[in-house]
Amino acid sequence: MLRIHYSLESQLKDGIADIAAPEELSIQVRNLVLKTAKRKKVGFGSTIAEHPSQSGGAFHAAASGTVRDLDYHHLVIACGEGGDDAEPVNVASLQPGRELLRTLQELGIDIAVLSSRAETLVINGMNPEPGVSVAEQMLADEMENLEAGLDVACALIEPQRTILAVADASEYRLPGTTPQSIKAKYPNSLDALVVKAVTGEEFPSNAKIMSVMDLYALGRVVRTGLPVTETVMTIEGRNYRVPIGTPIRHLLSCLGIKAASGDTVVLGGSFRGEAVYSLDEGVRKGDYGMFVISSDAFPHVQDVSCINCGECVLNCPGRIQPNLISRYAEYEMFEMAEKHGLHSCFECGLCAFSCTMRRPLLQYIRFAKDQLRAAGRSEQA
């Protein structure tokens, strides 16, 4: 019998726990502008890379140490004696404006959402995916940081109304926001669907959305003046404060989790996250969960043709036809995929989740989007 639970509810028992400091940090630096070099000493909070885009936040060392290894993809820091630690920046004294934004960006905050005004600001307080409870944990335990983050966000965005979207059964509130309850079932936690539930419009231009995790990071930066060097993530139902770059091997050994050959280790949620190829891979900014999925838990993806059963279409919250779009992507007809609503897809993964033939539908969709982006870039150049 097919009974699938996409429940986003969680029973929080404990607060956020700390993880023992790792001996090494492994940070993905692909496509970033490096600010350090091999064998250099770095201090806690010193900038190691900048984001090439105008709004992306910078990256900082989560511990002091020496850059042991560096290629175009990874930067490995051997923790220990290092350079000078970063001095706290007095963010609270800055007035809303360009300087504040630049300071936040230098401290690791993505300022894309903060850099222009909007009528409505939605705070997404839903747990992002089944099995991840970070959002509720923060609403329960990190109120001071959230409030500080909300103040700065409101000062920059100047919204006329601020709404907190929470799961329907939860009692969590955030001062300064109007609560709105949403059914705690995946994919209702996705930004596009939360905005739709709050404003009644699909992709409205006058609304912005931030997750409580974004708000927490912002608030923490403002209160401490120190850069973003950690993420909070759910591992086997508990939430941990994990320094960015902590190798997965370290997490597994700290928590006594076993990963055997053939298993899948996922950073992020199990619907949208990314499978890592090596246990030496480090935790990235914005990873809110880690899952070890044993090799026999689910039938594997296979490369076969679609049988048109329609399950992907019936499950799609974006009302597109993943069966058609994936075939267009498969045969490199990306413009046709675009014509059939490719960009309405918000990559929830439900199509591939429910595919009887186990086709990698989400992969095809991401591939098509990527190819179109690349084509757009080469046209501009």
Partner 1 sequence: MTPPIIKAMSDIATRLTVSPAPHWRCGRTLHAMMRAHLAALLPALLAGVYMFGLPAAATVGVAGSVAVLTEVLCLRMQGRDVDVDNFTALYAGILFAFLLPATAPWWVAAAGAVVTIVLGRTVFGGFGCNPVCAPLVAWAFCRMSWPAAMDIDLNLAHFMSNDPVYQLQRFGVEALSQFDYVDLLLGRQLGGLGASQVAALLVGGGFLLITKWIRWYIPVSFVLGVSAVSTLFWFIDPGTYAPPLFHLLAGSTVFGALFLATDTASSPVGKLPQFLFGLIAGSLVVIIRVYGAFPDGVPFAIMLTNLLSPLLDRVRPKPFGGK
Q: Does 271 bind partner 1 (CB under 8 A)?
A: yes
From 49-57, 147-155, 215-223, 259-267, give the range in contact with partner 1 by CB under 8 A: 259-267
For residues 210 and 216, give the distance between their C-alpha atoms in angstroms, rounded to a whole number: 10
CB of 301 to partner 1, least distance (A): 6
Q: Does 261 bind partner 1 (CB under 8 A)?
A: yes
Q: Does 2 bind partner 1 (CB under 8 A)?
A: yes
Q: Does 31 bind partner 1 (CB under 8 A)?
A: no
Are 294 and 261 spatial neighbours (Cβ–Cβ below 8 Å)?
A: no
Q: Does 73 bind partner 1 (CB under 8 A)?
A: yes
Identify the residue among 105, 362, 368, 369 touching partner 1 (CB under 8 A).
Answer: 362
Element spanning 27, H or E? strand 24-28
From 10-18, 138-146, 148-156, 254-262, give the range in contact with partner 1 by CB under 8 A: 254-262
What distance lies between CA 225 and its chain's CA centroid?
22
From 114-122, 138-146, 225-233, 256-264, give the range in contact with partner 1 by CB under 8 A: 256-264
From 92-100, 165-173, 208-216, 253-261, give the range in contact with partner 1 by CB under 8 A: 253-261
CB of 202 to partner 1, least distance (A): 4
For residues 290 and 284, give the distance between their C-alpha atoms in angstroms, rounded to a whole number: 11
Q: Does 276 bind partner 1 (CB under 8 A)?
A: yes
For residues 86 and 42, give the distance between their C-alpha atoms in angstroms, rounded to a whole number: 10
CB of 109 to partner 1, least distance (A): 26
What secondary structure, in 3-state letters, does 314-380 show?
HHCCCCCCHHHHHHHHHCCCHHHHHHCCHHHCCCCCHHHHCCCCCCCHHHHHHHHHHHHHHHHHHHH
Q: Does 314 bind partner 1 (CB under 8 A)?
A: yes
Tokens of 380: 């501009």
Other C-beta atoms within 10 Å of 93: how many? 8
Nearest to 227 by CA among 65, 56, 86: 86
Cα dihedral across residues 115, 73, 217, 107: positive or negative: negative
Nearest to 268 by CA among 282, 288, 249, 248: 288
For the chain, the maximum distance between any two Cα atoms, rounded to a whole number of angstroms, is: 61
> x-or-dash pattern for partner 1, window 74-113, by CB under 8 A?
x---------------------------------------
Q: Does 328 bind partner 1 (CB under 8 A)?
A: no
Other C-beta atoms within 10 Å of 97: how many? 10
From 66-74, 138-146, 177-185, 371-379, give the range in contact with partner 1 by CB under 8 A: 66-74
- Closer to partner 1 by CB, 17 or 309: give it: 309
Q: Does 206 bind partner 1 (CB under 8 A)?
A: no
- 3-state secondary structure (DSSP) of residue 59: strand
Q: Does 336 bind partner 1 (CB under 8 A)?
A: no
Q: Does 35 bind partner 1 (CB under 8 A)?
A: no
- Concatenated DSSP letters of 234-290: EETTEEEEEETT-BHHHHHHHHT----TT-EEEES-TTT-EE-S-TTPBP-TT--EE
Identify the residue among 80, 237, 310, 376 touching partner 1 (CB under 8 A).
Answer: 310
- Closer to partner 1 by CB, 94 or 324: give it: 324
Are 145 and 162 spatial neighbours (Cβ–Cβ below 8 Å)?
A: no
Element spanning 167, H or E? strand 161-167
Q: Does 132 bind partner 1 (CB under 8 A)?
A: no
Q: Does 284 bind partner 1 (CB under 8 A)?
A: no
- Closer to partner 1 by CB, 61 or 70: give it: 70
Give residues 173-192 in contact with partner 1 (rule: CB under 8 A). 192
- Closer to partner 1 by CB, 123 or 265: give it: 265
Size of the site for partner 1 (CB under 8 A): 71
Q: Does 1 bind partner 1 (CB under 8 A)?
A: yes
Amino acid identity of 219? Answer: G
- Closer to partner 1 by CB, 3 or 377: give it: 3
Q: Does 203 bind partner 1 (CB under 8 A)?
A: yes
Q: Does 353 bind partner 1 (CB under 8 A)?
A: yes
